[in-house]
Amino acid sequence: TGSHLPVRQCPLLTPMVSPLSPSPAAQIEVIPCKICGDKSSGIHYGVITCEGCKGFFRRSQQNNASYSCSRQRNCLIDRTNRNRCQHCRL
């Protein structure tokens, strides 16, 4: 019993909460992992990443890891070769 309209009827807010809009979590899953391009699972350590990169960053942080690159520090990191150079992945 108030003068407030339900959110779905408010003309200013309806576009923001449309039932057809995907949830923010679903929108993140559409964006590929910023490190390797695999399917992302969310924002981890401030970056949209896949589960593989999330685990790699977690282990690297926990172990205070330091990696070196045997090439020229510009290795291509993608889904198929992300495990080849830890330095360039980090």
The pLDDT-based confidence of 40 (bands split at 50, 70, 90) is very high
Q: What is the pLDDT of residue 6?
A: 43
Buried b (16+ CB within 10 A) or exposed e, 4-28: eeeeeeeeeeeeeeeeeeeeeeeee
Calculate mean pLDDT across residues 58-72.
96
The answer to whether the beta carbons of residues 41 and 50 sit under 8 Å apart is yes
User: In the chain, what are the domains?
Assistant: 23-89 (3.30.50.10)
Residue 49 identity (one-letter amino acid)? T
Q: What is the mean pLDDT of residues 54-59?
A: 97
